[in-house]
Every structure is written in C-alpha cells, then in structure tokens.
Amino acid sequence: MQGNLTALLVTSFIVLSVVLIGFIAGRDKSSRSSVEEWSVGGRKFGPLLVWLLVGADLYTAYTFLGLTSTAYSSGSLAFFAIPYTIIAFFISYFYLPKLWKVAKEFKYTTLADYAKGRFDSKFLSLLIAIVGVLMLIPYIDLQLAGIQDTLRVAGTGYINVQVVVIISFLLVALYTFFSGIKGPTYTAIIKDILIWVIMLFLVVTIPMIHFGGWGSMINKIVVESPELLTIPTTGPKGIPWFLTASLVSGLALFMWAHGATGVLTAKNADTLRKNAIYLPLYNIVLILVVFLGFAAFHVLPEGSDPRFALLNLIQMSYGGVVQGLAYATIALASLIPCSIMAIGASNLFANNIYRDFINPKVAPAKLTLITRSMVFVVIGLALVFGMLFPTALVSLQLLGVSGMVQIFPAIVFSLFWKKQTKEATIIGLIVGLVVTFTVSATGMTYGIYEGFWGLMANILILMILNPIFARANSRNSNPIMDLLFTERKVG
C-alpha cells in the first residue's frame, strides 16, 4: 500500500525536532562529566520527571503495536499487560526505595553494581551484567522494528525505509552519547504528552468512524466475534499462561537495565513510592488500545498482517496530518526507549565487565568515555541483529523476560534477607537460566510461561542450598548489609 507524503513529512518533522531537543538537553558539559551524571542524571529528578521517564521507558512502541497485534490475532490474551504492570508497580513500592538508598550511598548505577557490593562477588555481578546486555539486544531490536514498520506504512514509495531507520538510530546514538539520560528524559515529556493526547484521540474517534460509537463497536464484537473477549481455558496460551506470564513479567519489569536506569535517576526514595502509585495511570491508555486491536479485526481486510494492525487502522481512518501525528507518536515510542536501553546496556558493559574484569585501574574520565561510546556498539549490534533475524525478535524478547526475571531473587530477596548467600544465589540463578532455556528449546511448557519454570527452580535451589552455605560462611556482614539491616540512616 502506498504511503502518505503528508504523513511522512509530519512524522519526520516531529521526530527530527525531538531529536534536536535531545541534543540541546545535553548542552551543559556536566551531563557527561561522570558515569553517574551521564547515566542517572546525578540522581536529581523529581516525581514528575521520573514518572515521565519511567513511563517513556516502559511504554514503548512495542507496547502499543504489540498489544493491538495480539488483540487482533489472539483476543483477550493482550490484556495480560494490564495485571503485569500493576504487579510490578505494587511490589516496587516496597523494594525500589531500599535499592535506591543503597545505590545513592555507594554511587551505584546498575543492578550488577549492587549485587557485587551486597554479596562481595564480581562473578555474580558479571553474570547479571551478561544476562542484562544479552537480553536487552532483542528488546532494542523491537524498537527498531517499531520505527521500521511505522516508516514502511507512512513512507512506502517515497523513501528507502532501511536507510532511514539506520539514520534515525544513529541520530539517537549520537544524542545519547552527547546528552546521556537528560536527552531521553526531556524528550520523554513530548513523547508522553503525544501518547496521552493522540492515543486517547484514536480510541475515541476510531469507534465513531467505523462503528458509530463505542457501544456499537462493543455490540458488534459481542455478536460477531465473542471469542475475542475470552481467554482460552486450554491450549498453549490459556489461563495458566496468562497468570504466569503476568506474574513473571511483573517481577522482571524493573530487573531490566533500562528500568533500573530510570529508577536510579530519582532524587529521593519518596519519589519512587509516588511513582509506584501513579504509574498505573498509563494502563488507562493500554486498556483502550487493546480495543483498537478488536476494532482492527473488524475493519481491516481478512488476512491482514497482525503486525501492522494499528498502523493500517490509522491509515484507513484518517488524513495525512492525523496519520503523521499518530506515526510520530509511535516512532518516538521507539526511539526514546531505545536511548534509555542503550544507556542501561552500555553501563552494564563498561562498569561491570570492562572495569571489573578487563581494566580495574581505569581512570574515571576514561571509564565515562567508554560507557558513553558503548552506546554506538549496543545500537549497532541491535541494528545488525535485527536485520539478520527479523522474524525472531518477538519470541526472543519474550524469552528475554524469562531470562531477566531470574535475577529477581539475587536483587530483591537480598534487600530483605540478611542471611542470603552468594553461593546459593549464583547456583540458583544459573539453574533458573538453564531451566528457562531448556523449557523454551524443547517446547515443554505445559501451558505455563517459560520463565515461571525457571524462576521456581531458581528459588527452590536457593532455599535448599542457602542454609548449607550460610553455616559454612563465617563472614556475614559488609557496609551494604549494615546499611540494609541496621537502623542507620543514609546521609
């Protein structure tokens, strides 16, 4: 289908303007003066900025395109995104403030930093860093796929989509290298405003355009496709899958490097508590976006590619200007999370792999430059990987969720469990990863989300082995444990 030149021009203007704002955000040299300033903004962001940053970080183009695609092809299974975010935000209220206090006190910028200090273990830190970087590449690729799909619908016949995608991501890499976390933070303000305005506009007007209103649309769905409104009770993705996918995804959400990066920008622990309360407001948009997938099921021609459900629905519903605003919103929901993900992955590599194992005596200024430069490597790998394996991205990202949740016991349990040992934690993490990838490779899930099997094995091993290692371990205290398990307050 031919693209729309007006839509393409509007999209390009908005995206380029936002990228320019990303560069301007880093014009102060202090934004790149140290790893802490570049990656977590010196921990100076208040509740509103953190809310916008974490929202921009977690609600990506993949969220909106993926939800409508899943709703179009699999019905109410798409609603699993609602409970999983609620689970994530609810439990984050209790553990993120404690994690932030430790990170603030010891100037940590990654979860691997915390694990190294908490357990006195560079090996555990390395393991978490490797898992974090490897699992994040497919996620960055999905942002690549999001903007590629958007440009394909908007610009077919006018541009070479792959070339423009490469240029777009190189521009993002440049402003991320230059501005650090301040770039995506200030551009997230524009992106989040567009999401609330444009997505709400879509969910109000599309039912009116094609069905005469929400009531008529719901009635048509109930009468003609009631299967869209129910979750299967049997099969590979039934209610057990829905429940375990929601739980695993919720536990994994802030284990991702980009999730942790957003959290560690907060200026105090109370900011994170407020965010845990108010971040679920984004789910208002998510719930309504799922219904756009149901609308697409009835509006698009039979046999349409589910991957383009939302984009094609927009194309069939509006003129060029509105199309351009909607496409720009989706494109920004690709580019801005990509920037934050690149910061998180670069931080893990530079601090927890390069500094800890390759060059422990690296000077702070050189480490900062290496951390910033890794953005180009991470985004470059994602571009190459996405071009080589374009059909495997969604399955790899879902597997990435299952992989990331395996570090949950190492991070969250240890914030509350004083006698948790590094040996039991490492073995549990390795077993969890092995079980997860074995279940995925063999397909023997029994209708359960892969990561759930790995997490249960992980926790079981931890519980069985920890008492054995705890008795043999004579050293059970360090400065981090003193901070976590005494009444001393952080200065």
> Is residue 376 over pLDDT 70?
yes
Residue 273: how many other CB atoms lie within 10 Å: 17
Asked if residues 191 and 333 have their Cβ atoms less than 8 Å apart, the reply is: yes
Confidence of residue 56 (pLDDT cuts 50, 70, 90): confident
List, in order, residues 6 or more apart from 162 with CB less than 8 Å away.
148, 387
Q: What type of residue sits at position 164?
A: V
- As a whole number, mean pLDDT of residues 232-237 equals 77
- As a whole number, mean pLDDT of residues 208-234 equals 88
> Is residue 163 over pLDDT 70?
yes
Annotated domain spans of the chain? 5-391
266 phi and psi, to 5 degrees? Answer: -65, 145
**Residue 269 to residue 481: CA distance in whole angstroms:** 18
Give per-residue pLDDT as tens, 450-482: 899 999 999 999 999 999 888 777 666 788 888
b/e sequence 92-120, b meaning 16+ C-beta within 10 Å: beebbbbbbbbbbeeebbbbbbbbbbbbe
Torsion sign, CA atoms 391, 392, 395, 400: negative
Domain 5-391 matching CATH 1.20.1730.10: the answer reads yes
Looking at residue 429, its pLDDT comes to 96
Mean pLDDT of the chain: 86
Looking at residue 474, its pLDDT comes to 61
**Which of 210-219, 438-447, 474-483 shows the lowest per-residue confidence on average (mean pLDDT)?**
474-483
> Is residue 488 over pLDDT 60?
no
> Is residue 356 over pLDDT 70?
yes
Give me the residues paired with residue 45 across strands: 266
Longest CA–CA separation in the chain, Å = 72
Confidence of residue 491 (pLDDT cuts 50, 70, 90): very low
List, in order, residues 6 or more apart from 430 with CB less than 8 Å away.
127
Give per-residue pLDDT as tens, 300-341: 988 888 888 899 999 899 888 999 999 988 888 888 888 888
Residue position matching structure tokens 């901070």: 483
Q: How many percent of the chain have pLDDT more than 70?
A: 95
b/e sequence 187-214, b meaning 16+ C-beta within 10 Å: bbbbbbebbeebbeebbeebbeebbeeb
**Which of 44-53, 95-104, 109-118 shows the lowest per-residue confidence on average (mean pLDDT)?**
44-53
Confidence of residue 436 (pLDDT cuts 50, 70, 90): very high
> Is residue 126 over pLDDT 90?
yes
Confidence of residue 206 (pLDDT cuts 50, 70, 90): very high
Give me the residues paired with residue 426 across strands: none
- As a whole number, mean pLDDT of residues 146-158 equals 78
- As a whole number, mean pLDDT of residues 182-197 equals 86
Residue position matching structure tokens 């500094």: 355
> Is residue 409 over pLDDT 90?
yes
Q: Nearest 5 degrees, angle CA 165-CA 185-CA 480?
A: 115
Looking at residue 392, its pLDDT comes to 53
Query: How far lies 478's CA from each of 117, 408, 482, 484, in Å?
Result: 8, 21, 6, 10
> Is residue 490 over pLDDT 50?
no
